[in-house]
Structure 1
């Protein structure tokens, strides 16, 4: 629903601009709006603290871009990039403190990367590659922003269903699964693509459900 309303809104703006009722500047409106919308989608999708931080960062970056280009914010980009670096460091510190202060529990947590039953991977302008060998994979969350994630599950197993939430913005995600898993893609590509290259399993019972958004990027699931 959110994606549909966003597309309708952008189409209406272009129509009003073509009719001469508005004077749009693509540099001012479109790119910052994409960042803000992508951040909102991330915040609504995520189930982790780190995901909220990533979504909030996208919203903040889009807002800063728009305010600067519209003339409401006078700031030099030489002074702005250290602020983003400081914010990234603060996010890492907060996530570390949350992981260390979390009480011990038998239930898996999305914010504990050490627990292989649940994956929480984030790649921002970089790469993330991991192999998981747990026999009780439960899913998790993968985020790739201007970077790539490679998750190898070929030596893992599922007891029933597992849900993997994915989010790629100007990036790519590759998931390798065993040949006895059934893969269901329930995500939404936005100027991007979902691709499944798996062999149909002989028996149904182990099912990986992939959900999320791929914005100007790609997702590939294969054996």
Structure 2
């Protein structure tokens, strides 16, 4: 049975991030081997990562904030330094902006949950230096915000149902892990931005593939991971 990969799946933040890393690797190889002088092109590599961060913001409909903002800030500062408009010492003093972005992400997730939390259609979980396990049994599950910082967060959706597809989950894993348990038959689109982290759908492959997306998982993983299991 042949498997068709749709263009939409090839435009995930994960795919684009990996593609940019490959391009950077090729440019570095050309430069170090002396095959082609591409030093001038390497100066603009940070702009590629800024574009990925902006794309991730758009793809998540501004739900995934902290990851893309961190990437945009770091890559933007790197670009400014690379072009000689500022020194490392001048840009490093703005590092608290990353902390602010993380706090805004947490507050935004709580606000969304309070506004739309009807019949448990929306779930929010935050774990720091510990673990949080939640189970959603709503027959009209809509969305969730899951954050794990030096800890773990688990959301069990095996007894939930989706009324309006696709449902959406924003997952942030910083030095921790986010585990999402879903029914095996759900079609999950994973669009997590990994920076020294990972994201994977660990469910066994199914013989019948549902073309309609049931759940979209966006977010950010740094020194941690986001996993989908059944």
Q: Does residue 168 of structure 2 align to residue 164 of structure 1?
A: yes
Q: Which has the higher contact order (CA 8 A, sep 6+)?
A: 2
* 1:152 aligned onto 2:158: no
Identify the residue that residue 118 of structure 1 maps to in structure 2: 122
| Matched residue SS, 1:182 | coil
- In structure 1, runs of 5+ residues without a counterpart are 100-108
Indicate if the aligned counterparts of 1:176 and 1:221 stay in contact, CA closer than 8 A: yes
Rounded Cα–Cα distance in structure 2 between residues aligned with 1:145 and 1:70? 36
Question: What's the CA shift string for 1:69-90, capped at 9, x where partnerless?
Answer: 553213357633334445555x
In the alignment, structure 2 segments of 5+ residues that lack a partner are 1-9
Number of aligned pairs? 201
Matching residue within 120, 131, 139 for 1:136: 139
TM-score normalised to the size of structure 2? 0.56
Give 1:68-107 correspondences, 5 Å limit. 68-74=81-87, 75-76=89-90, 79-86=93-100, 88=102, 91=104, 95=108, 99=111
Partner of 2:50: 36
On the 8 A contact 1:126/1:147 being kept in 2, the answer is yes
The answer to whether the aligner puts 1:65 opposite 2:69 as a matched pair is no
TM-score under structure 1 normalisation? 0.57
Checking the alignment, whether the CA contact within 8 Å between 1:183 and 1:210 is kept in structure 2 is no
| Deviation at residue 173 of structure 1 after TM alignment | 2.7
Q: 1:198 to 1:5 in 2, by over 3 A?
A: closer
Distance apart, 1:197 and its partner CA: 3.7
How far has the Cα of 1:158 moved from its partner?
Answer: 0.6
Q: Distance in 2 between matches of 1:58 and 1:16?
A: 26
Pair 42,142 (structure 1): closer, same or farther in 2 beyond 3 Å:
farther
Structure 1 residues 133 and 169, CA, compared in 2 at 3 Å: closer, same or farther? Answer: closer
Residues 94, 24 of structure 1: alpha-carbon distance in 2 compared, 3 angstrom cutoff: same
SS of residue in 2 equivalent to 1:187: strand
Q: CA RMSD in A?
A: 4.9
2:189 to 170, 186, 189: 186
- The separation in 1 between residues aligned to 2:55 and 2:171, in whole angstroms, is 9
